[in-house]
Structure 1
Amino acid sequence: MKGKTVLLDHIAGRQAAALMVDGKLHDLLIDPPAEAPPGVGAIFFAVADRPLKGQGGLTLQLGDGLTGYLRRARDISPGDAFFVQVSGMVEPGKAIPVTPDLIFKSRYAIVTPNKPGINVSRAIRDEDERDRLLEIAHGAMSGEHGLILRSAADGAEAQAIAEDIDTMALLAQQVLGHQDTTPELLLAAESAHGLAWRDWDNPDEVVTQDGCFETHDILDAIDIARGPYQKLNGGGHAYIEATRALIAVDVNTGADHSLAAGLKANLALVRDLPRLLRIKGLGGQIVLDLAPMPKRDRKQIEDAVKKSFRLDGSDIVVAGWTPLGHLELTRKRDRMPLSQVWPDA
């Protein structure tokens, strides 16, 4: 299965989408169970509850018994009401992280309320194309909201881009026009199929038949992804296991016993780590127990980690090396773990 293939199916009555690149599972989206906390991107009308002393934040009432948590909540008092958007995933029962900076995101356009200005993704470098997109944007966008044209707009038809801008601008207008003062959910998080359409642009093939996960061996790939053991290019392997406190990654060289075996296995791991974490839905604190290698190679590993996640479009922080030689990272939790959304057999 060469090229980029998007497969849309249903698992246990919930939407599921898989992205295969050259025959390898590259990304996986599954709608969470109904009882799961709201996903990233959901928008609420919230009421400030109480500040958390020493943390610089406060809790919010989101309606239906849900509690939100807003960091760096300056100039906000209990009882204040405003719009917020879910910014990360948490375990059930914990306060949901939110932000007051709303975005309305589609395939081509991101509308940014109350942040005027029209911009084009820096990934689009051709000046003529940037000028074309700016002309489309200025013709389609009006009002006090801002607009960012995503990299997927590169080469897209003008009418499709204009319609996308209009749809997002209208959605923003409808949500921000909310009049009731009761905390409640105003816009649910995007579904798995919706996210696939929005973020997996320019596929070579889209498969929508029911049961396509089975006929295209996606179920086998997911079974491998669910387990801790992961093969690496070059013959090494890794174990990726989640605990309540952190994600532990153990790297092994396999049958390679050469002097450079440790470095090769470690590089293979960090190059594939963004994909593996994304499919598994893992984030938070990550500790890499790397294969043995000289200390002089640590800088090369750090650079490879930063490059790998940058190319993937993921935000990470490299915290550094521990006295025991472990490399610590943090990655945003932006989806539920695969172990929680995939139904048990």
Structure 2
Amino acid sequence: MHNSDIPLPKDIQRPAETVLVNITPQETRVAVMEENRLCEIHIERNSGYGLVGNIYLGVVRRVLPGMQSAFIDIGLERAAFLHIVDILEQRQKPEQTLRIEHMLHEGQSIVVQVIKDPINTKGARLSTQISLAGRFLVHLPQDQHIGISQRIEDENERNYLRERLQKLLPADANHGYIIRTSAENATDAELQSDINYLTKRWQHIQQLSKISPPETLLYQDLPLSLRVLRDMYSDNIDHIIVDSSATYESMREFAMNYSQGALDKLQLFHDDRPLFEEHNIETRINQSLQPRVNLDFGGYIIIEPTEAMTTIDVNTGGFVGARNFEETIFKTNLDACHVIARELRLRNLGGIIIIDFIDMATTEHQEEILTELAQALAYDRTRVTLNGFTSLGLVELTRKRTRENLSQILCESCPTCQGRGRLKTAQTVCYEIQREIVREAHQKNAQEFRILASPSVIDLFLDEEANSLQMLSQFIGKPIALTVEATYNQEQYDIVLV
């Protein structure tokens, strides 16, 4: 049993990737494939543009001293949320306990940045610490320190990068930067163009904030097609295939100024068949909306996301191919590690994730499974923390939740079952209707009761429950008529008093 986090391997050899960019007037979809396997899908709809990174001139609507937070209007449907820990002054003085009511008052204008999209009923989460992402650097205009990505672990490399950046900055520079992982291979000229680009961006934002009315969007992050080049592009990408000539041109222009290595990889897709169809992406997206995922050797996993956490159950299914049962279990669990890691990325599942591997008899097998899982999770661009096996034999991990998962983007709750995933049986509904008629008969004087219900419920009343309906009619001393409502679902009914 592990109580501490298990480190994920850092220097992994990533497999070659192909990135497919599909453009329609309504949405942009980006698929990332590793060795012909779909690993990530990013969707940006014009109607629901992601807000993370956007900078607004907001207005303080309510300050809540008890929660040390405030509601800020930034022009969205729901007020956004600002907590004391995300206020710049508190971040700069973590050892002091500052009070939000001493820093903000209702009606105050304030420049804020979205750090978490609104999800379900929660409003967007804000910060007053502004950061602007570039290709190699993140600009921190209100800070003065130079930070370095945690993924660059070598101390000499960290010092070397810090010194290089300091030489490029003017002597009187009073802005901070975070050096991104991609900066390890960047030239001085590339770093300098990043600094120039980010400095101009911040100057523009400051000017706008002085002349704009409250609830104005001051800065919006790049569209998804260009974020592919800024955030996802790396040397192990072989091809970036785009199916829109206008987007292809804008990506080429961005690459020329910003990531020249990507220029040779960009390709315009010419084919009568749709790009995602050609690579079987549509089928794979539909599969990723199902709870069951089949493993290579006959086993399968069930993935069930809930509000509190995501649970993943591993099963052997029909797999009995190995020499003995213990070996079968181990092989199935091993196979599941890579599929689970890939599905977490593909479905973009965040928060607490609990994996119920098939019970293993030996701790050696458990250790090997954890090593394999850590290896598979290391490919994830999103931060993952692996905790190991609990005393109940479950594996706990957390994955940073940054945006809505795939199911939340593409699906909605079933109107018939309200997202429960189950319906009351026709028999249950029949008995409910009969109880209600008894209640109504005591309270109201009607000549006749008419039941309007779905075909399956009326069929049951005419067949198996015909006797009980007749007894009910005699008990209340009133006739009961039946009417089929074809548009009603199985749980819907009305009782009409005539």
Fold match by TM threshold 0.5? yes
Over 3 Å counting, the alpha-carbon distance change for 1:233 and 1:200 in structure 2 is farther
TM-score, normalising length from structure 1?
A: 0.82
2:353 to 283, 286, 305: 286
Amino acid in structure 1 at the alignment position of 2:136: Y
Kept after mapping to 2: 8 A contact 1:37/1:92:
no
Matches within 5 A, 1:169-184: 169-177=199-207, 178-179=209-210, 180=212, 182-184=214-216
Over 3 Å counting, the alpha-carbon distance change for 1:319 and 1:118 in structure 2 is closer
Gaps of 5+ in 2: 1-14, 86-97, 245-273, 413-498
Kept after mapping to 2: 8 A contact 1:236/1:255:
yes
Question: Following TM superposition, by how much is the alpha carbon of 1:247 offset from its aligned partner in structure 2, in angstroms?
Answer: 2.0
Deviates more, 1:77-86 or 1:300-309: 300-309
Kept after mapping to 2: 8 A contact 1:120/1:130:
no
Kept after mapping to 1: 8 A contact 2:129/2:142:
no
Over 3 Å counting, the alpha-carbon distance change for 1:229 and 1:53 in structure 2 is farther
Over 3 Å counting, the alpha-carbon distance change for 1:195 and 1:289 in structure 2 is same
1:29 to 21, 24, 42: 42
Counterpart for residue 98 of structure 1: 126
Amino acid in structure 2 at the alignment position of 1:41: G
Matches within 5 A, 1:79-90: 79=106, 80-90=108-118
Matches within 5 A, 1:1-345: 3-11=16-24, 13-34=26-47, 36=48, 38-52=50-64, 54-72=66-84, 74-77=98-101, 78-79=105-106, 80-121=108-149, 123=152, 125=154, 131=160, 134-135=163-164, 138-139=167-168, 143-177=173-207, 178-179=209-210, 180=212, 182-201=214-233, 202=235, 203-210=237-244, 211-232=274-295, 235-257=298-320, 258-294=325-361, 296=363, 308-317=376-385, 325-342=393-410
Structure-1 separation of matches of 2:354 and 2:24: 32
Kept after mapping to 2: 8 A contact 1:12/1:343:
no
Amino acid in structure 1 at the alignment position of 2:129: D
Over 3 Å counting, the alpha-carbon distance change for 1:97 and 1:161 in structure 2 is same
Kept after mapping to 2: 8 A contact 1:90/1:333:
no
Question: Following TM superposition, by how much is the alpha carbon of 1:64 offset from its aligned partner in structure 2, in angstroms?
Answer: 3.9
Question: Following TM superposition, by how much is the alpha carbon of 1:181 offset from its aligned partner in structure 2, in angstroms?
Answer: 5.9
Question: Following TM superposition, by how much is the alpha carbon of 1:193 offset from its aligned partner in structure 2, in angstroms?
Answer: 1.1
Structure-2 separation of matches of 1:170 and 1:191: 19
Secondary structure of the residue aligned to 1:101 is coil
Once the two structures are superposed, what CA deviation does each residue of 1:49-79 show, in whole Å capped at 9, x if it has no partner? 3344654433222224431112335433333
Question: Following TM superposition, by how much is the alpha carbon of 1:226 offset from its aligned partner in structure 2, in angstroms?
Answer: 2.5
Structure-2 separation of matches of 1:342 and 1:32: 10
Once the two structures are superposed, what CA deviation does each residue of 1:281-326 show, in whole Å capped at 9, x if it has no partner? 2223333233223484666656665565455243345578777654
Higher helix fraction (1 or 2): 2
Percentage identity across paired residues of the two chains:
25
Amino acid in structure 1 at the alignment position of 2:407: S
Secondary structure of the residue aligned to 1:194 is helix
Question: Following TM superposition, by how much is the alpha carbon of 1:118 offset from its aligned partner in structure 2, in angstroms?
Answer: 3.5
Once the two structures are superposed, what CA deviation does each residue of 1:192-247 show, in whole Å capped at 9, x if it has no partner? 21221122223211111243222222222222222222234554321213233432
Over 3 Å counting, the alpha-carbon distance change for 1:323 and 1:59 in structure 2 is farther
Deviates more, 1:130-139 or 1:236-245: 130-139
Over 3 Å counting, the alpha-carbon distance change for 1:305 and 1:157 in structure 2 is same
Once the two structures are superposed, what CA deviation does each residue of 1:139-188 show, in whole Å capped at 9, x if it has no partner? 25673221223222333344333222211222122223411461332223
Secondary structure of the residue aligned to 2:185 is coil
Kept after mapping to 2: 8 A contact 1:118/1:134:
no
Secondary structure of the residue aligned to 2:326 is coil
Structure index of larger Rg: 2
Deviates more, 1:318-327 or 1:67-76: 318-327
Q: CA RMSD in A?
A: 3.4
Amino acid in structure 2 at the alignment position of 1:76: I
Secondary structure of the residue aligned to 1:213 is helix
Structure-2 separation of matches of 1:295 and 1:282: 30
Report how many aligned residue pairs link the two structures.
342
Amino acid in structure 2 at the alignment position of 1:117: H
Amino acid in structure 1 at the alignment position of 2:62: R
Structure-2 separation of matches of 1:53 and 1:310: 41
Kept after mapping to 1: 8 A contact 2:69/2:100:
no
Deviates more, 1:206-215 or 1:318-327: 318-327
Question: Following TM superposition, by how much is the alpha carbon of 1:134 offset from its aligned partner in structure 2, in angstroms?
Answer: 4.5
Over 3 Å counting, the alpha-carbon distance change for 1:288 and 1:132 in structure 2 is closer
Amino acid in structure 1 at the alignment position of 2:115: S
Over 3 Å counting, the alpha-carbon distance change for 1:325 and 1:108 in structure 2 is same
Secondary structure of the residue aligned to 2:39 is strand
